Amino acid sequence: MYNTSFIKKTLLAVIAVFLYSCDKDFNAIGEGLVGDDHFGLESEKYDVLAYNQEVTPIQSNVMTPNALGIFDSPNFGTTTANFVTQLTLDTYAPTIGESPVIESVELEIPYYSHQTAVDNEGNTTYELDSIYGDKNGKLKLSIYESKIQMRNSYFSGGSQIPQFYYTDQNTDFFNNADKTLLLNNGGVLENEQFFFDAKEIVIKTTDPDTKNETVERKTPRMRLQLNKEFFQRKILKADASKLSTQDLFQEYFRGLYFNVEKSGSNPTNMALINFSEGTITIKYKAKTESKTDTDTTTEDKQIVLNLAGPSTASFLSDARNADYTSAITTNVNKKDGDERLYLKGGQGSLAVIKLFDQTDVLSYNAQGEPVNGANGVPDQLDLMRSNATVKNWKVNEANLVFYIDTEKMKGTKKEPNRVYLYNLTNNTVIADYSTDVTSAYGGLISLDSDKRGKSYKIRITSHIRNLLKDATAKNVDLGLVVSQSPTVLAFNALKNRIQTNTNPIEYFSAAPRTSVMSPLGTVLFGGKKGGTPESDQEKKRLKLEVYYTKPN
C-alpha cells in the first residue's frame, strides 16, 4: 500500500512539474515574439516593377553540362547548340610500340538517364533525362578536328587574364574546323541520322580459348566509331614529343568540334550532356620484341583520350520568334513594367525586378551618386520602414509569386522546373538563398491539377527584413532567370556589358551560369497594372506579399 501510494504521488508531482515547465516555455516563446500585446498575422501587398532584359552573347566556356542539338520552342523559336572541347591523353609520353595498326576508335559519352524496368534476363530499360523536344528526333551530327587552339588565360599589360569564349562564336570555330574529313564515319545513325538512343548497351564477347561468353552492360550513351586513318596518323604516327606533355599535345591536337544540323525533314531534339565523362578509346596491335627476324608476334594495346579538356565552349544560336524578339528588345517598358516576363535560358532573356517605388531619383553624377534630391513623396519602402519603427510591425514572411501565363505556355511540352532570384546589381545571391532551396528559398514550379505549371514562389523574408532594419541598405535590383541547377552559383560574363537605367556606374554585365546551361523558357505575368479586376492580368499580376505581426 505504501509503495502504491508513493508511486501515485511521485507520478502526480512529475506531471505537475512537466505541465508547469511546458506552460512556462510557451509563455517565454510568446513573450519573445510579441511582448505583452495580443497580435494577429496580417498581409500587405505591394506593387512590383518588372521588365524584360535581353541576354546578349555570354561566356560559355568550362560549363557542365553542355547542350547539343536543336530545340524548337513555340514561344521562343529555335535554338541550335554546338560544342567544342580540347582533349587530354590518359597517359602522356605513351609507349606505342612497333608498327602499330589500329583496330578501332570508339567515342563514348554517357547520357543522363534513369532505370524504369529490369526483366528476368537482367536487361534494363532506361529513360533519358535532360532531353528536350521529340524523343525520337534525329540530327545531322558532324565531328571535325578543331583548328583553333583554346587558351585558359592570356597576358595583357603584365597581368594574366582569364580567356573567355562566348555563345556567339560558332562561326569562328565552324569556319576553321577541318571539314574535309568527317571523323564520325560509322553508319548513318552515327552522323546523317544521329539520335539520342535510350537503349542499354550490351556487349557480348567470347574467349577464343575457353569459348566462355561474357556480357558487359552499360547505361545509354553516345557511342560512335571514329575515323581510324585519322587517329593512326594523328596519334600512333605522331612525333613522340607531341604526346609528351599536356601543353605540347594541346598545341598539336587542338580538339574536337561537334556541329549539328537538321536531318532532312525529321523532327529535332536536344540533350544536356556531361562531355567531361566522355572518352575516345584507340585499340590497336603492335609488334612485340622478337629474338629472331621471323618471330612477328603482336600484342593488343590501347590509348585513351579524355574529352575533359581544360577548355570547352558551348555555341548557342537562336532563330527567335517575332513576338519574343519584340518583348525583350523594342517593347520593353522600364517605366511601368511589362505585362509578360519572358525567361529563356542560354543566350536568352531574364526579368529585372525592382521592389518599391524607385522613381524619386532623377539623375546620377559620374560617381553613381543620386543628384537633384528626392521628389518629396515617401515611397513604399519609406512607409514600410516607418511602420516597422513607429508601429512596431514585424515581418513574419515575404514572398514573390510569379504566375505562369498558361495560355501562352499551352503548346510547350517541357517547362523549367525551377527559377532563380538573385541580386542583379551585385551579381550575388540574396540573403534568403540556402542550399535547401526546396523549403527555405523556393523557386520550384507549382503544378496544377492537369500537371501543368501554375506558378513559382520565392521567399525573400530576410531580404525585406534587412532593408527595413537598415535605413542605409541599398534597395538593389533583382534578377529572375530559369535555373538548370540550384547548386550552380557562378556568374558568366556578357561579351559586352549594358548600362542599366541612367546610373553611369551600374551595368548589366553578367548572368547566372545556371541559366546559361538551360535551353528552356517560360512566360510569366509581370507587375504592370491592366485589365478588369477579374482578368488574369490583374488576378495573377506580380506583387510582393508581406505577412506582418501587428501589435494591438
DSSP-assigned beta bridge partners for residue 262? 139
∠526-48-74 over CA atoms, to 5°? Answer: 15
Contact 274/113 with Cβ under 8 angstroms?
no
Q: Which residues contact residue 320 at a Cβ distance below 8 angstroms, ignoring those fewer than 6 apart?
A: 76, 77
- Decide: residue 417, CB within 10 A, 0-12 exposed, 13-18 middle, 19+ buried: middle
Q: How far is CA 75 from CA 33, 67, 78, 85, 321, in A?
A: 48, 19, 10, 31, 7
Residue 460 corresponds to which amino acid?
I
Please state the pTM of the whole predicted model: 0.87
Cis peptide leading into residue 551 (ω within 30°):
no
Q: How far is CA 191 from CA 129, 195, 198, in A?
A: 22, 9, 17
Given this model, what pLDDT does residue 393 score? 93
Given this model, what pLDDT does residue 481 score? 98
Chain centroid to CA 347: how far? 12
d(CA 61, CA 168): 12
Length of the chain: 552
Contact 423/430 with Cβ under 8 angstroms?
yes
**Cα Rg of the chain, angstroms:** 31
Contact 448/485 with Cβ under 8 angstroms?
no
| Assigned C-alpha cell, 449 | 491539377
Q: Is 389 helix (H, G, I), strand (E, B) or coil?
A: helix
Contact 96/233 with Cβ under 8 angstroms?
no
Residue 97 corresponds to which amino acid?
G
| Residue that the C-alpha cell 585519322 belongs to | 230
- Decide: residue 489, CB within 10 A, 0-12 exposed, 13-18 middle, 19+ buried: middle
Q: Which residues contact residue 193 at a Cβ distance below 8 angstroms, ignoring those fewer than 6 apart?
A: 138, 140, 263, 264, 266
Given this model, what pLDDT does residue 297 score? 86
Given this model, what pLDDT does residue 210 score? 85
Given this model, what pLDDT does residue 504 score? 66
Mean pLDDT in runs of 10 for the chain (552 residues)? Answer: 45 44 36 40 92 97 94 96 97 95 97 96 94 94 97 87 96 97 96 97 88 92 98 97 96 97 97 97 89 74 95 96 97 95 98 78 57 57 88 94 95 94 95 73 93 95 94 92 94 92 79 97 94 84 95 79
Number of C-beta neighbours around residue 321 at 10 A? 15
d(CA 443, CA 455): 9
Contact 266/138 with Cβ under 8 angstroms?
yes
Given this model, what pLDDT does residue 123 score? 94
